[in-house]
Amino acid sequence: MTAPVPTRHPAVLIAPLVTFVAVVLMLVVAYFYDRLPAQLPECGFKNRTGIPCLACGGTRSMQALAHGEPRTALAFHPAFTLAVFATPLWLALGLRQYFRGVEMPSIAAQNRRLKIGVAGFAAVLIVNWIYLIFFLP
What are 55-107's pLDDT values in tens digits? 999 999 999 999 999 999 999 999 999 999 999 999 999 999 899 887 878 89
- Listed residue (77, 68, 74, 85) closest to 20, CA to CA: 85
pTM score: 0.86
Output the average pLDDT for the chain: 93
